[in-house]
A = this chain, B = another copy of it.
Amino acid sequence: MLTIDIARKIIAAGEARAHGIGVPANIAVLDAGTSLKAFARMDGVLLGSIDITLGKARTAALFGKRTEAIGEFCKPGGTSPGLEQTNGGLVVFARGLPLIDAGGSLIGAVGVSGGAVAQDLDIAEAAVAALGN
């Protein structure tokens, strides 16, 4: 189960990585029911990325998958055109990641936004690694 202590560790790990690569980012942690657990916007992040961060985390929590994997379903030629319009609107580009506990259960999701896609990836991977599985 996702606790505030875990959420805080995830954000701290993501921020440490963001500092390391010199890219400010938002990090959002949602629980398995898609409710907001913790959020931090580092100094210098553009305001437009707040909603994107929350949307990535929400999308990953709703489907238990990385957002870009969900993007595969709805891209031209994919199996589920228009999927991104469901659930009040999804964010289907990187970097939202599901949080899976040691027993394999989905306990929430993390969203990261602020830099380029590869940078957000870097930060999100570091954040999720704090789960310690």
From B47, B80, B83, B116, give the contact of A33 (CB < 8 A): B47
Q: Is the CB of A91 within 8 A of B87?
A: no
The residue of chain B having its C-beta at the shortest distance from the C-beta of A98 within the complex is B46
Q: With A38-B39, A47-B62, A62-B47 known to touch, is A91 a contact of B82 (CB < 8 Å)?
A: yes
A99 to chain B, nearest CB (A): 14
A88 to B64 CA separation, bound complex (whole angstroms):
24
Question: Using an 8 Å CB-CB cutoff, how does the interface string of A9-40 with B read, 1 for contact, 0 for none?
Answer: 00000000000000000000001111111111
A34 to B32 CA separation, bound complex (whole angstroms):
11
From B42, B84, B116, give the contact of A4 (CB < 8 A): B42
State which residues 32-90 of A face B: CB under 8 Å. 32-43, 46-52, 55, 59, 61-64, 71, 75-76, 79-90
A117 touches B (CB below 8 Å): yes
A11 to chain B, nearest CB (A): 9
Please list 13 pairs of residues, one from A and one from B, whose beta carbons are closer than 8 Å in the complex, sorted by A's number.
A4-B43, A35-B47, A36-B50, A37-B40, A38-B41, A39-B39, A49-B63, A51-B87, A75-B81, A79-B93, A80-B93, A81-B84, A83-B93
Tell me the A residues contacting B by CB distance below 8 Å.
3-4, 7-8, 31-43, 46-52, 55, 59, 61-64, 71, 75-76, 79-93, 116-117
